[in-house]
Amino acid sequence: MRVVLLGPPGAGKGTQADLIVEKFGVPHISTGNIFREHVAAKTPLGLKVQGILDSGGLVSDEVVMELVADRIGKEDCAQGFLLDGVPRTTKQAEILRTVLSQSGRMVSHVVQIVVPEEVLLERIQGRSAQGDSSRSDDSAEVASHRYQVYLEQTAPVAKFYAAEGILSEVDGVGSIDEVFKRICEVLV
């Protein structure tokens, strides 16, 4: 099972990814986590990523896909993986397809979590206001900008995978368990 999890910031991708990984036993590959590890370690890449995230921008396709290709090439990904936060652009999706096809693999499922903008912004502002997040990209202004960037750059990725016949849209409004149940229905 090679799954791509799509959805705008605040859709619950990280939460759902953790549940999917637990149920299906595949490694969770989150570019956000990879980037945050580099930021915490203050690596040169981490410092560059921090500036980009603070402004609500996205890391370049080339840097992202280099990290992803390296990670999915590891032995623990031989039987599958869950990608969370990547691909974010059609170019990244094309690079991923090329990388996987070189080893005779392809993405098996793409799940897009769909949540209305007003709900997304409420969620992000709520976790920031409650102190549930130490992320510098959880301010209302940055969240709104990230949503617009998502619409412009990442939403077309769903069309890319729809054309390949592997996209499933899942309603992301409801309890964590309700959304997870919907996702499991499309993964089995």
- Which residues have a catalytic role annotated? 13, 88, 127, 135, 146
Rounded Cα gap, residues 93 and 112, in angstroms: 14
On the question of a cis peptide bond just before residue 9, with omega within 30 degrees of 0, the verdict is no
Report the C-alpha gap between 85 and 34 in whole angstroms: 10
Residues 103 and 77: their CA atoms lie apart, in Å, by: 12
Closest CA to 83 of 69, 94, 63: 69
